[in-house]
Amino acid sequence: MAASGRLGTFRLPPLPTIRELIKLFRLRALKQLSQNFLLDLRLTDKIVRQAGNLRHAHVYEVGPGPGGITRSILNAGVAELLVVEKDIRFIPGLQMLSDAAPGKLRIVHGDVLTFKVENAFPESLRRQWEDDPPDVHIIGNLPFSVSTPLIIKWLENMSRRDGPFTFGRTQMTLTFQKEVAERLTASTGSKQRSRLSVMAQYLCHVQQVLTIPGRAFVPKPEVDVGVVHFTPLTQPQIEQPFKLVEKVVLNAFQFRRKYCHRGLSMLFPKAQRLESTGKLLELADVDPTLRPSKLSVSHFKSLCDVYRKMCDEDPHLFAYNFRDELRQLATKTLKGKNTKERATHLQDASSTQVQQRV
């Protein structure tokens, strides 16, 4: 069955529906892999349209499953579609699609978290970062279990301009749990403002372009699904290494209901915490009584710039992790306690022996 909508000139020949395909190959969604199938090709067409004009583009689809979105992408007139699927049960159904679209669909049985997409498309597709985005797109109905680590991985790739972003400012159109989609797009001061908001928005223009009700999926998830479109910025709003930005943002949001100075203070060892936190906030010109959700990307730029200078002055500072210090303190306390208990035990034993001799 061809996908609905006018997406391109190419059309797949008549095929079993996704529902028929699931029955044919006895497929079922695995809960442990957070799998949910989207069977309505009108909805998959809508998702694909949000990616923009895909005619003659090269597309990398992650987690195609039974191939609903795959069909809509092929019908959009792409030059080539590369799909990476971890679950081998879906490969025969995808192969059926490949046979129906000769030369259009390439199937890889692999893990999107480790797959090297930078080697998958022709070198001729590469563009300068400042140019318009290349004819390379990432599209996917992500399993909920991998969506957050995967987008963080791709954001780090984006900051380094490697991986999928070797080709330039590759655009992404991805599904997330609605709550995660709202976090990615949340504005300063919003209740949904989080680490994900800042990490995505300092590197990208991020827009939630579609909401799909949970009832459209099989099995029905407990939440609705948001479709988010990412376009990398020509110039990141924070020009510091990704890991440094991530550390500052992560610490700021770990006590999200408290003033921002509480979380930011954990960037520093206990012995210098008060003084260094005051210096950081003063030089960054950030009000210590702002809640983390009230911190804009501009605030985080100032904080990261100042923290970078402090790390340059103290080469050991960036490696500091307050959890390591807490563990060391707990171990030291436990050793001290055990030593005291052993001493008390030996003293009691000695007193007992003296009493027995008497």
Binding residues for S-adenosyl-L-methionine: 36, 38, 63, 85, 111, 141
Residue (of 260, 95, 97, 241) closest to 193 by Cα position = 260
- Looking at the DSSP bridge assignments, the partners of residue 138 are 60, 172
**Mode of pairing for the β-strands spanning 217-218 and 105-109:** unpaired
Binding-site residues from annotation: 36, 38, 63, 85, 111, 141
CB contact burial 194-225 (16+ within 10 A = b; e otherwise): bbbbbbbbbbbebebbbebeeebbbeebeebb
Output the six-digit token pair for 306: 């100042």
Concatenate the DSSP letters of all residues of 27-43 into one string. ----GGGT--EE--HHH
